[in-house]
Structure 1
Amino acid sequence: MKKIGFLSFGHWSPSPQSGARSASDTLLQSIDLAVAAEELGADGAYFRVHHFARQLASPFPLLAAVGAKTSRIEIGTAVIDMRYENPLYMAEDAGAADVISGGRLQLGISRGSPEQVIDGWRHFGYAPAEGQTDADMGRRHAEVFLDVLRGEGFAKPNPRPMFPNPPGLLRLEPFSEGLRERIWWGAGSNATARWAAQKGMNLQSSTLKDDETGEPFHIQQAKQIEAYREAWKEAGHERAPRVSVSRSIFAIMDDRDRAYFGRSGKDQDQIGFIDENTRAIFGRSYAAEPDALIAELKQDEAVAAADTLLLTVPNQLGVDYNAHVIEAILKHVAPALGWR
């Protein structure tokens, strides 16, 4: 069995061709799509976070709203850029969203990716310590976040508080039991995947990663997953880790699907640079009739290795169409691959 969810970047555009023309459209439709996905039997509703862009940026109000409107589906992010985050305030927001959802939060975090603006985290009041990079700062924020999620007291109480305190040092509230084990790290390289394992985080691997060997994307990603699981075992963690991969997968079921994705032109890996020094490989998209799609996906080693698959959805095409995209995979592709 493989958990299958959707991943939305939450784009909106004032273009007449867009089904999401404002932030309000995107946020409300995101809630509706999560409800629809749960009714279809999907396992997760995940959202990408981008700052300074016409996309989803502030995840916790959305996650809390989805948690209040659903009862079973996992809700999460893929990913939150930790360079921008106050880890203590974030722990309070995450705890609240998890309590509202009844413990269904699956929070993906990372050091971030190329942005809309130069050093956007500086506008949020953050800067790397001397001798460190912005990536170091993001990982440090993550470590503080993980530490406070343990629920241990660390703050000395006021001897004359406004309200009575429990004995001992105080922790952040609300504390949500088990959330620490539901934190994921979005890794772009084998080294950061191993670091995530050492820190006891689950692994999220997206549709791009550092091109470390020149091999096809799915093979490099499968090796990244293997390196992560080896590091997890070496770290001696007691629980079993989870691993997700993201894919753009569209089953061609009707003329509408064919018009949108019949000639996607992205059925091969792509090579590019995500900054001046990092050569990256971008994984292919899949779009075909179900039988052909099943045959192609059987060859994807990383999808086979992961326990969770996140389907990237074109959110600007509207809730009904995206529900159709998810349903087609769940009903016509997943069973033949042994995912259902």
Structure 2
Amino acid sequence: MIVGEGMKKIGFLSFGHWSPSPHSQTRSASDALLQSIDLAVAAEEIGVDGAYFRVHHFARQLASPFPLLAAVGARTSRIEIGTGVIDMRYENPLYMTEDAGSADLIAGGRLQLGISRGSPEQVVDGFRHFGYVPAEGSDHAALARDHAALFLRLLEGEGFAEPNPRPMFPNPPGLLRLEPHSPGLRERIWWGAGTRATAEWTAQQGMNLMSSTLLTEDTGVPFHQLQAEQIQRFRDAWKEAGHAREPRVSVSRSIFPILSDADRAYFGHDTHSQDQVGRLEGGLARFGKSYAGEPDRLVAELAEDEAVAAADTLLLTIPNQLGVDYNVHVLDSVLRHLAPELGWR
């Protein structure tokens, strides 16, 4: 057995795509939502630790996450339920606090909310259509951070609103907070960081670190080494900030063990995948490779992935349009054939 860096939580990350294509098993928004719930239930049954969903606006993908999170919470009992990530440029932090508190209480305290500035969207400045405009002299990244800062404060549950002296219903004493309040949710907020500097800022804010298969910078080293440096900088900044609790760190990977002809047909072309460097929003970005191949080969390759070794949580990106059954097969293949050999489980 190849011994890794310790036990890991293993979850899936779905973008929730749908397409009317005859090649898609997910042809409508209804399919995407209902299949997401079914996949979370099935994933819990085979021992997966987390069900995470991407949020995109103006796209044929999952968008407003809280109805879905609440539904998954009501149908499951153990699995962590999260996002990766909610674009805070589009969010009303007060309404989001109520939604998050409600969904977390339904799930019994299992929410793990990934938030961030988000990625390039389908439309130009889509957040403006939602009624949010950066302050004069500011920009959309600052808008996301401002919304996040208010959201984090509200999750603390401190009263801030003056009560009506003649309320319809009796109030508790003092200033009022938003309800329902879910204790502990503030410690289960993650920031999706695309750079090393943003990871340090994340630690200073007391949020967990969520790092995907994309970093919006490049130093010439392999992706996994750059991401491992990002993780170390996060942990150093966390320690320097003096937070009392231990933080969590997740990384995303596309991992496809090839065990059948169907696996080979779908992912055989990824067996020689490599990092890619390109330009994104005017700057260099490095994209991590996919892992596809026979289990023995993947065990050897993943044992060399420094960022996966450094993280406590691994999110497996899934091809949701291939249907629930096939995605359960992919997840089960990782749990059965890779995780034990790598010391993750």
Identify the match of residue 329 of structure 1 among 331, 334, 337. 334
TM score, norm. by length of structure 2: 0.97
* Counterpart in the other structure of 1:210: 216
Partner of 1:139: 145
Counterpart amino acid of 1:222? A
| Residue type of the alignment partner of 1:295 | A
1:265 shift after superposition: 6.2
> Which amino acid letter does the alignment assign opposite residue 321 of structure 2?
Q
The yes-or-no answer on 1:81 pairing with 2:92 is no
In the alignment, does 2:97 pair up with 1:91?
Answer: yes
Mapping for residues 46-61 of structure 1, pairs under 5 Å? 46-61=52-67
Q: Is the CA contact (8 Å cut-off) linking 2:271 and 2:292 kept in structure 1? A: no
For residue 290 of structure 1, what is the aligned residue in structure 2?
295
Aligned twin of 2:205 = 199
Q: Which runs of no fewer than 5 residues in structure 1 stay unpaired?
A: none
Q: CA deviation at 1:3?
A: 0.2
2:306 paired with 1:301: yes
| Deviation >3 Å, runs of 4+ | none
Q: Output one character per residue of 1:280-320: Cα deviation in whole Å (capped at 9) or x when no partner.
A: 00000000111000000011000000000000000000000
**Equivalent position of 2:20 in the other structure:** 14
Alignment match, 1:167: 173
Q: CA deviation at 1:211?
A: 2.3
Q: Secondary structure at the match of 1:71?
A: coil
Contact 2:91 2:147 in 1 (8 A): yes
What is the deviation of 1:262? Answer: 1.1
Secondary structure at the residue paired with 1:122?
helix
Report deviation, 1:220.
0.3
* Residue number in structure 1 paired with 2:254: 248
The CA distance in 2 between the partners of 1:170 and 1:29, in whole Å, is 39
Q: Supply the AA of the counterpart residue of 1:145.
A: F
Q: Which runs of 5+ in 2 are unaligned?
A: 1-6
**Cα displacement (A) at 1:274:** 1.9
Task: Pick one of 97, 103, 121 that aligns with 2:109.
Answer: 103
Q: Distance in 1 between matches of 2:279 and 2:120?
A: 10
Counting only pairs closer than 5 Å after superposition, residues 248-267 of structure 1 correspond to structure 2 as 248-264=254-270, 267=273
2:154 equivalent among 148, 155, 158: 148
- SS in structure 1 at match of 2:341: helix
SS of the residue 1:90 aligns to: helix
Residue 270 of structure 2: SS of its match in structure 1? coil
**Identical-pair percentage:** 76
- Counterpart CA distance in 2 for 1:315 and 1:223 is 31
Residue of structure 1 in register with 2:283 after alignment? 278
Q: Deviations over 1:146-189 (max 9, x none)?
A: 00000000000000111110000000000001000000000001
The equivalent of 1:43 in structure 2 is 49
Matched positions, count: 339
The CA RMSD over aligned residues, in Å, is: 0.7
Give yes or no for the alignment of 1:312 onto 2:321.
no
Q: Tell me which residue corresponds to 2:38.
A: 32
CA distance in 2, matches of 1:48, 1:319: 17
Query: Alignment partner of 1:12: what SS?
Result: coil
Alignment partner, residue 179 of structure 1:
185
SS of match in other structure, 1:191: helix
